[in-house]
Amino acid sequence: MDNHPAFSCTGIVAGYRRKEVLHGLDFEIPAHSITGLLGPNGAGKSTLLRLLATISTPSAGEIRMGGLNPALRSERNDIRRNLGFLPQNFSVDERMTVQEFVLYCLWMREYPAAQRTEAAEYAIATVGLENSSGTRIKELSGGMRQRAGIAASIAGTPQFIILDEPTAGLDPEQRYEFRQLLSRLRGLDNSPTILLGTHLVEDVASCADQILVLGEGTIRYSGPAHTLTDSGDRSIDALESTYRRLLGGAKSSAHAADTTTLEA
């Protein structure tokens, strides 16, 4: 799969309740990158992430993940074995303990049985819940529940990790620790491709290699984080200013012939 982009989308159209939400999206995400999917609430981020997580299918267009076609059952199953997904609002049997929940997610991905406990314990410790691994989900605070979801999505270090608003409910220190976690994952041999959906520029300013800006169901920018502004300024203020301008202006792509970037 390494010879292909991690995600490749061509002409993606999708929606729900007879309302079109995504309008012909075209983009690629390199393997082993951390990509921030930025967009305001209602831009279509969750719809796109559900497509890439193979939860739903587009009404038009093609998706490839590591060269595999999720529209084909056999290839979709291969993708799912190598995919960790944290939805914006995830549901779980709240009678489960944190460890049982993470183990269940590993089982769903057909992770080797002999290695599941070790992988679960490592992921739980990575998000700082090692002292709560035996606690039932229903007894966790909102922030702890969110961290349990993050642990489940990264357990076993799947090839694709898709996170929808993962910092929701986290306090400032936990948000910082989450960004440090992403940096550690990037440093691994054969590091996963991480796609992070958020409406907060600060979530991606320090760690994203690539950025997608989604506004009203269209891609406003797709490319390296360092070319989002003309100056290459990666500060939160500079990225925030450019992000807001992109949402108010025409589509921009780092790979288009007429690309222009906006300096903060």
Domain range for 145 is: 89-158
Identify the pLDDT of residue 3.
78
Question: Structural domain tally of the chain?
Answer: 2
Of 158, 189, 210, the one marking the end of a domain is: 158
Give yes or no: residues 168 and 100 share one domain.
no
Residues 55 and 103 in one domain: no
Do 45 and 197 contact (CB within 8 A), yes or no?
yes
30 with 8, same domain: the answer is yes
Q: Are 217 and 59 in contact (CB under 8 A)?
A: no
Is residue 27 domain-shared with residue 95, that is, in the same domain? no
CATH number at residue 264: 3.40.50.300
pLDDT number for residue 258:
35
Of the three residues 108, 130, 158, the one that is the final residue of a domain is 158
136 and 24 in a single domain? The answer is no
The closest of 151, 201, 193 to 33, measured between CA atoms, is 193
The predicted structure's pLDDT at residue 1: 58
SS3 sequence of the chain = CCCCCCEEEEEEEEEECCEEEEEEEEEEECCCCEEEEECCCCCCHHHHHHHHCCCCCCCEEEEEECCECCCCHHHHHHHHHCEEEECCCCCCCCCCEHHHHHHHHHHHCCCCHHHHHHHHHHHHHHCCCHHHCCCEHHHCCHHHHHHHHHHHHHCCCCCEEEEECCCCCCCHHHHHHHHHHHHHHHCCCCCCEEEEEECCCHHHHCCCCEEEEEECCEEEEEEEHHHCCCCCCCCHHHHHHHHHHHHHCCCCCCCCCCCCCCCC
- Whether this model's pTM surpasses 0.75: yes
Render pLDDT for 100-116 as a digit per residue (tens, 0 to 9).
999 999 999 999 999 99
Looking at the structure, do residues 23 and 127 belong to the same domain, yes or no?
Answer: no
Whether residues 73 and 137 share a domain: the answer is no
- Whether residues 23 and 54 fall in one domain: yes
pLDDT at 231: 73
**Same-domain check for residues 167 and 221:** yes
Instruction: Provide the pLDDT for residue 194.
Output: 98
Looking at the fold, whether 145 and 234 belong to one and the same domain comes out as: no
Domain C-terminal end among 158, 182, 211 = 158
> Residues 194, 206: one domain?
yes
Same domain, 115 and 20: no
Which ranges of the chain have pLDDT less than 50?
250-264
| Residue range 6-36, pLDDT digits in tens | 999 999 999 988 899 999 999 999 999 999 9
> Which pLDDT belongs to residue 17?
81
8 Å CB contact between 220 and 246: yes
Under 8 Å between Cβ of 203 and 181: no
